[in-house]
A and B are shown apart, each in its own frame.
Chain A
Amino acid sequence: MAAPLVPKLLRAHLSDLASNDARLDDRGQWDGRETKLEIGVLPRAEGSARVTMGNTIVLAGVKFQIMTPYPDRPNQGGLMCSCEVRSIAGRHWENGPPSPQSIELGRVVDRGIRESGCIDVDDLCIIPGEKAWQVILDLHAISDDGNLFDAFALAGIAALRNATIPAERFEIGEDTPLKVSKTPIMCSYHKVGGRFVYDASYREELGGDERIHITLGDDDHVHSLQKGLKGIFTADEFAEIMEHAKSRCSELRDMVNG
């Protein structure tokens, strides 16, 4: 990913906006963009979702494979989350081997889903020590106008909840829905013009500093955190965004469970 040029004027304007409690697109500090979730959009995937947040669009698809369980965990299947941001998603994304940015994206989303325990890997075992299901969640960005993290996480969990284990195709019994017991939701905050805002757009990301990602489970338990990019933040700032994350996560959870 070629580092895009950050005009100094943009940074100055963003901090000017922040000191007047305003944002580039007229949103409030804690307002998200209009979010749309569609499920079952990909005919070849066993579970799928498309999330649209303003001009950010992502797809998530779930596929299943048969794997041999690891010797130390003979009764467990696997969950894998892979993320690709290819050149379709924006001028600044390039093809080639996965960039550190897209690897970070995939791993942060993966941790949130894995650590929430929403998928019971013991359930995925077919024959202990021999055969188990591997669930693969593929995240694909179509249009990047900022905050791919939240869009990926939302699409990812929605696609898993929509997934069916294709047992008939592999000739091992009947198709059953994948059991997903929880709904972990991620909220991301970017420091723009000296203060944290929720759901930053691309221009805010470009002219902003560090970002913090929080994944909360059903009972507001924290499942993953990530601080990215250069920047310093205080404990008070963190407490404030944590408060907001709790209310926003439950809104988004209702959308997924809907």
Chain B
Amino acid sequence: MAASTVMKGWPVARLDTMSRESSADGPRDSRRALVVVPGEDLGVSEGYEAGHGVLVVDGRLRSTKQGRMNTKGSTVSVEPLHTTYMPRPGDLVIGHIEGCTNNIWFVDIGAPFNSILPMSLGPAKVEFGGTRKILDIGDSILCRVQEVEETHQSVVTMKGLGLRKIKSGALDEVDPHLLGRLIGKGGNFLRDLKLESECRIVVAENGRLWIDGDLDGIFKVRNCLKELSLEARQVGGVN
């Protein structure tokens, strides 16, 4: 996984920084996993770094998201209860082709902006003007984010090991911040799920999953995803 990229001075939430339990033994230990809301004061900033979902305002840390507060080392961050996928270079994603021109495909990768897949990064050699013969509108692909500019122009590539058009199986979705739980510590949870369902499961970082196997297996995986999402939605209800 690529090193944590920084956007506008913001450490971005990544799967590896969104573990379910913080192993940090910081001085703020007692406040770990506290649910916070936007605008909430998280204490003085001196000696701490603002992580994901945290801002420094007038020498104090302030939450900008609803989520669980985490202290890892000297970094204070908020693990959100709901997120939208934000692409970063190197991410493995599942995309749908939503349009094309003579030499470019437009790919919906479930982000707030679509990506382009230039002909040169496509899965096969393409004649100019022959893009639809290779990947048609509505096709789903396994691809990797090549580049994201600050203004959110982004490029995906299909050059790489295992990157290809998806031709069988089913797709499903979970909120991207739940992927950490789905994979589990050291990939255990996902490995067990694969064994139990006898399915091939590819988890892409945009929260889309490719599940390939027989229908019973697909149902097993789907039920598991449903439970995971329900469990995560427990916080925040009626007052």
Interface residues of A (CB under 8 A from B): 5-10, 12-13, 16-17, 20, 22, 26
Q: Which residues of A contact B140 (CB under 8 A)?
A: 7-9
Task: Determine the residue in chain B with the shortest Cβ distance to A24.
Answer: B222
Would you list which residues of chain B between 102 and 161 have a CB under 8 Å from chain A? Answer: 108, 136-140
User: If the complex has contacts A9-B169, A9-B170, A9-B171, are A16 and B138 also in contact, measured as CB distance less than 8 A?
Assistant: no
- The distance from the CB of B214 to the nearest CB of chain A, in whole angstroms, is 9
Are A7's CB and B138's CB within 8 A?
A: yes
Q: Which residues of B contact A8 (CB under 8 A)?
A: 136, 138-140
Give which listed residue, A6, A7, A16, contacts B215 with CB less than 8 A.
Answer: A16
B189 at the interface (CB under 8 A from A): no
Question: How far, in whole Å, are A22 and B220 apart by their CA atoms in the complex?
Answer: 13
Give which listed residue, B168, B171, B219, contacts A26 with CB less than 8 A.
Answer: B219
Number of interface residues of B (CB under 8 A): 16
B14 at the interface (CB under 8 A from A): no
B65 at the interface (CB under 8 A from A): no
Are A5's CB and B98's CB within 8 A?
A: yes
B166 at the interface (CB under 8 A from A): yes
A-B contact pairs, 8 of them (CB 8 A): A6-B138, A7-B139, A7-B140, A8-B140, A9-B139, A9-B169, A13-B171, A22-B219
Q: Which residues of B contact A5 (CB under 8 A)?
A: 96, 98, 108, 137-138
Q: Which residues of B contact A26 (CB under 8 A)?
A: 219, 223
Q: Which residues of B contact A13 (CB under 8 A)?
A: 169-171
Task: Determine the residue in chain A with the shortest Cβ distance to B138.
Answer: A8
Question: How far, in whole Å, are A6 and B138 apart by their CA atoms in the complex?
Answer: 6
Task: Determine the residue in chain A with the shortest Cβ distance to B219.
Answer: A26
Q: Which residues of A contact B170 (CB under 8 A)?
A: 9, 13
Task: Determine the residue in chain B with the shortest Cβ distance to A11.
Answer: B138
Binary A-proximity of B74-111 (CB < 8 A = 1, otherwise 0):
00000000000000000000001010000000001000
Task: Determine the residue in chain B with the shortest Cβ distance to A13.
Answer: B170
| In the A-B complex, the 6 residue pairs with the closest CB atoms | A8-B138, A13-B170, A9-B140, A5-B98, A7-B96, A7-B140
Question: How far, in whole Å, are A91 and B171 apart by their CA atoms in the complex?
Answer: 19
User: If the complex has contacts A5-B108, A9-B140, A9-B169, are A22 and B96 also in contact, measured as CB distance less than 8 A?
Assistant: no
Known interface pairs A5-B137, A7-B138; 16 further A-B residue pairs with C-beta atoms within 8 A, sorted by A's residue number: A5-B96, A5-B138, A6-B138, A7-B96, A7-B140, A8-B136, A8-B138, A9-B140, A9-B169, A10-B171, A13-B169, A16-B215, A20-B215, A22-B215, A26-B219, A26-B223
Question: How far, in whole Å, are A7 and B173 apart by their CA atoms in the complex?
Answer: 13
Q: Which residues of A contact B137 (CB under 8 A)?
A: 5
Task: Determine the residue in chain B with the shortest Cβ distance to A16.
Answer: B215
Are A17's CB and B171's CB within 8 A?
A: no
Question: How far, in whole Å, are A10 and B138 apart by their CA atoms in the complex?
Answer: 9
Question: How far, in whole Å, are A26 and B226 apart by their CA atoms in the complex?
Answer: 12
Q: Which residues of A contact B215 (CB under 8 A)?
A: 16-17, 20, 22
Are B219's CB and A7's CB within 8 A?
A: no
Question: How far, in whole Å, are A253 and B158 apart by their CA atoms in the complex?
Answer: 54
- The distance from the CB of B165 to the nearest CB of chain A, in whole angstroms, is 10
Question: How far, in whole Å, are A5 and B169 apart by their CA atoms in the complex?
Answer: 18
Task: Determine the residue in chain B with the shortest Cβ distance to A22.
Answer: B215
